[in-house]
Amino acid sequence: MTNGHPYQDADYDLYALGALRGEECAAIESHVASCDECAQKLAQARGRIALLALAVEPVEPSPGAKEALLRQLHATVEGHEGRRAPEPARVRFRAAGWWTAIWAPAAVAFACITIFLVVENRKIAQQIDAMHADVAQLQAQVQDAQSNVALFSAKDTVRVALAPSKDFRGANASVRYNARLGKAFYSDSISTPAPPDKSYQLWLVPADGKPISAGILSPSAGAGSEMFVSVPPGTTAKAFAVTVEPTGGSPQPTGPKILVGGM
């Protein structure tokens, strides 16, 4: 308490112990702030008083306490690294953005192209099917035409003239028929349309069995009717006839005969 050092070691011990009042503490703190020697004395006093902790039996903390501390450190380290090195994160973000900028439109384009190709493929498939059908139809028409040509050129084709009934006197009708080919060509000069609710129906009268419908005639004004007819090949015909039937024809002849021609 001399030579400009107003406090004794015991005062610093009491300060470190916490026994002094606020104003007493403030006075000591003010002094040591400007006196290195007394600051060192205070540091030593803190050390002496700290030793009193050794009077207490040590207590091992629970394992969870250390784990909690380490978790806290990990969280800090991760947060620190996150703050200290944000650039890689941004780089990654940019890289991801760059990749996304390329990938996303490409994926959309790919999806659009895929959908377009699927739709187009279906359209093309439908067109191909239609073309196949057309080809088949054309082939059928060609075959039909060939068979028609064959009908007229074949030596076994026979021509049958059909005689009109009295009501159709003056009308001409004939049938070229080839039993082997199952084809026939009918033509007439009847220009009178069928009565209302009636149709003219051509019949093949086979050698055996019931008459077979060979089609409905469609006479045009002043021109008569022509048509190719297909019948089961090998059918031996006994005669051909035209009857007046209800519109659309009948399974079997029901009306009057207007034209009849025997083989």
Partner 1 sequence: MNAVAATDQRSSDWSLIERVVARDETALAALYDRYSGLLCGILNRILRDAQAAEEILQDVFFQVWRNAAQFDPARGSIAGWLVVAARNRAISRLRRRNPGETEELIENTVVLPFNLESEAAQKEMLGKVRGALQDLSTEQREAVELAYFEGLTHSEIAARTGDPLGTVKTRLRSAVESLKTKLSGPGK
Please report, as ranges, the residues that interact with partner 1 according to CB under 8 A. Answer: 9-10, 13-14, 16-21, 39-40, 42-44, 46-62, 64-66, 68-70, 72-74, 76-77, 80
Q: Which C-beta is closer to partner 1: that of 8 or that of 236?
A: 8
State in angstroms the smallest separation of the CB of 87 from partner 1: 19
Report the C-alpha gap between 14 and 19 in whole angstroms: 5
Least Å distance, CB 90 to partner 1, is: 22
Please identify, using beta-carbon distances, which residue of 21 and 169 lies nearer to partner 1: 21
61: Cα separation from own chain's centroid: 65
What's the closest the beta carbon of residue 42 comes to partner 1, in angstroms?
Answer: 8
Q: What are phi and psi of 260, to 5 degrees?
A: -150, 135
User: Minimal distance in Å, beta carbon 28 to partner 1?
Assistant: 13
The amino acid occupying position 18 is: G
**Smallest distance from partner 1 to CB 74, Å:** 8
Nearer to partner 1, 43 or 161 (CB): 43
| Residue (47 or 262) nearer to partner 1, CB | 47
Burial class (CB in 10 A: 0-12, 13-18, 19+), 46: middle
As to burial, measured by CB atoms within 10 angstroms (0-12 exposed, 13-18 middle, 19+ buried), residue 263 is middle
CB 197 within 8 A of CB 246: yes
Closer CB to partner 1, 60 or 197, in the complex = 60
